[in-house]
Amino acid sequence: MLHTFVALVEDKPGVLTRVASLFRRLNINIVSLTVGRSEKPGTSRMTIVSEASPSAGHRIMASLYKLENILQVDDIGQHSSVSRELALIKVAATPKTRSHIFELAEVFRARIVDLAPESLMIEITGVESKIEGLIQVLNESEDKILEISRTGRMVMRRGQHTSRVLDAMRVAGVETESITETPEQIAEEVDLPQ
């Protein structure tokens, strides 16, 4: 099964290697790994998606925490969260064949970000299934996909699961008791369309 971890790590040379090396050592395949600067100076946030047995989550998390450069790890599991991926897709298209791709893009809320005489580039953001949906439709309508580049999954838990959120709320004088995790329905709405 897929395990998704979000890790706050020190932004230093070699940290990515340490994380990657850990998965290699455990003989666990990394499906995707995204990393970028976080809200805290000197730190980065990673989303790591890996394919491993259902019981492997505990060991992966415990092992990640053994890395000195890892500050915080969250095993997303079934927690309510927002998951996004960005993909750039270059499709072969002439001025004559473009228009139905524009329509497809509209349906998928994707954007055309480059037009050339023989091709165009689509930018699409969403959950993986949405991106895969577009790719499938493009394939089925016999458009020739020339190039795909995907960021991999990026995940953030909803609501107040970190003490940092609570701290921020307290400073703002908000009654923390009244804040509950965002209901699942809202999650569905925001993610639409698939």
Q: Which residues bind another protein (CB under 8 A)?
A: 13-14, 17-18, 21, 25, 55, 58-59, 61-63, 65-68, 72
Between 62 and 113, name the residue whose CB sits nearer to another protein: 62
Between 63 and 160, name the residue whose CB sits nearer to another protein: 63
- Class of residue 99 by CB neighbours under 10 A (exposed 0-12, middle 13-18, buried 19+): exposed
Between 13 and 117, name the residue whose CB sits nearer to another protein: 13
Asked whether the CA dihedral 54, 59, 65, 68 is positive or negative, the reply is negative
d(CA 108, CA 36): 26
Residues 59/26, Cβ–Cβ less than 8 Å: yes
- Class of residue 126 by CB neighbours under 10 A (exposed 0-12, middle 13-18, buried 19+): buried
Between 12 and 144, name the residue whose CB sits nearer to another protein: 12
Q: Provide the minimum distance between the beta carbon of 91 and another protein in the complex, in angstroms, as a whole number.
A: 40
Between 68 and 118, name the residue whose CB sits nearer to another protein: 68
The alpha-helical segments, DSSP class H, found in the chain are 15-25, 56-66, 98-107, 128-140, 163-171, 184-191
Q: Provide the minimum distance between the beta carbon of 44 and another protein in the complex, in angstroms, as a whole number.
A: 18
The alpha-helical segments, DSSP class H, found in 68-193 are 98-107, 128-140, 163-171, 184-191
Q: Provide the minimum distance between the beta carbon of 16 and another protein in the complex, in angstroms, as a whole number.
A: 12
Between 55 and 180, name the residue whose CB sits nearer to another protein: 55
Q: Provide the minimum distance between the beta carbon of 156 and another protein in the complex, in angstroms, as a whole number.
A: 20
Strand partners, 161: none
Q: Provide the minimum distance between the beta carbon of 68 and another protein in the complex, in angstroms, as a whole number.
A: 4
Q: Provide the minimum distance between the beta carbon of 58 and another protein in the complex, in angstroms, as a whole number.
A: 7
